[in-house]
Structure 1
């Protein structure tokens, strides 16, 4: 609701809708990737991380600053009027990707993945955006998973919700940190899948800390691979407002 319902936002004491965290990061990811891919990537794995410090508001101009020190590429999103840093990101080489063993692994066929890529607000087949698409796809799968909802309702049994979206309508949630550890194979999307391959993904148990008076911090992790190669791990940290205020 904080992204689409202005009346809901005003009841919370704010004046403007905020941009969804995944959408706010999309341009940052694209520009960091373009800087990295100005030369052939030298490493097999990379890690992208973002710390979100302030909401990114709709109808508000921002300045995106990109820097490359030869070891990592960094970005800052600054409010043009106040020069406040809303979020900062970095893209850097990383260790090899080792996926944790999961109890329940799910699979999508390549045509299913391609169909899910149709509404992506970018070019999922471009080298600079393919990994960002898969990151967004995993986020979507995480949010829609009954497993994720079950973790929350176990911690907060009084919630009356059939989907995570209904939870978000009852408890204001902000995304504070996002991390994606991914294979450089995602920079070459045309050769990502082999014949009859699938995208396999596993959701790890959610970590929930905090209490009703101070709010909760939720950390959710989802992993993906092809039949032969690990692809990426997406970790999302969310913070709820104190429940006493709702």
Structure 2
């Protein structure tokens, strides 16, 4: 059985920079259709990712693994959930289910996938965690889920993310995506990670970690709302070792000025 608390939200916000009020304020959560304060998607999906990794299908050097998580319904604090998994010939599947209503809140799949195609030489990597830096990561272990969380934090903090937002909302007084979370009703809908199989068995407690922002995609308008798809890559010696893509939904802004 799984259950998350307000303290889980506080710790994750400290680490990630995601201060979205839907994780702390009941009224803010209700504006996005939730029935109460919700758990950070990145915090709650950690358990599902770990479970899928334990059942991962073998992949070749030419292939890797694609972990796809769909956030179907908000997960609320101080409520019971259960985790169900099953393994097939070429993939592992899992769900986080509301223990009271039996509603599927998160669904995930880990399957073999070819390496994403892009030119690493065109990227501008920068240090996102130094060897001697301490991390406030609130979960045990420094494995691939830790790298994934670092890339999420990079997306939240990166100036490149705000360049995308300001193209469609130039009047928004925000310096980081974390500022946007505070000002607009916004939720995560999908999370996608590509990684080689060996990363499932490697730790990163004492290594320098570099990341780079990848091209972003924005769709929609003020009347229907926006979908933002933002990606980042983890690099080692200029070589891709993981990519993370976050899909965010911004509710319609027809009642906002501008």
Inter-partner Cα distance in structure 2 for 1:72 and 1:14: 31
1:102 shift after superposition: 6.5
Inter-partner Cα distance in structure 2 for 1:187 and 1:181: 11
Could you tell me which residue of structure 1 aligns to residue 137 of structure 2?
A: 120
Counterpart contact for 2:31–2:185, Cα < 8 Å: no
1:172 shift after superposition: 0.8
Could you tell me which residue of structure 2 aligns to residue 136 of structure 1?
A: 149
176 and 25 in structure 1: CA distance in 2 versus 1, 3 angstrom threshold: same
1:219 aligned residue (217, 229, 243): 229
Counterpart contact for 1:31–1:66, Cα < 8 Å: yes
Runs of 4+ in 1 over 6 A off after TM superposition: none
Counterpart contact for 1:149–1:164, Cα < 8 Å: yes
Gaps of 5+ in 2: 1-20
Could you tell me which residue of structure 2 aligns to residue 6 of structure 1?
A: 26
| Paired residues for 1:226-241 under 5 Å | 226-227=236-237, 229-241=239-251
How many residue pairs get aligned? The number is: 234
1:114 shift after superposition: 6.2
Inter-partner Cα distance in structure 2 for 1:193 and 1:17: 32
Could you tell me which residue of structure 2 aligns to residue 28 of structure 1?
A: 48
| Paired residues for 1:74-223 under 5 Å | 74-101=93-120, 103-108=122-127, 112=130, 115=133, 118-125=135-142, 130-190=143-203, 198-223=208-233
TM-score, length-normalised on structure 2?
A: 0.81
Give secondary structure in 2 for the equivalent of 1:60. coil
Give secondary structure in 1 for the equivalent of 2:161. helix
Give secondary structure in 1 for the equivalent of 2:173. coil
Inter-partner Cα distance in structure 2 for 1:193 and 1:63: 30
1:144-192 Cα offsets, whole Å, 9 max, x none, are 11111121012101211222222122211111111101122312325x7
Counterpart contact for 2:130–2:209, Cα < 8 Å: no
Could you tell me which residue of structure 2 aligns to residue 48 of structure 1?
A: 67
Counterpart contact for 1:138–1:222, Cα < 8 Å: yes
Gaps of 5+ in 1: none
13 and 101 in structure 1: CA distance in 2 versus 1, 3 angstrom threshold: closer
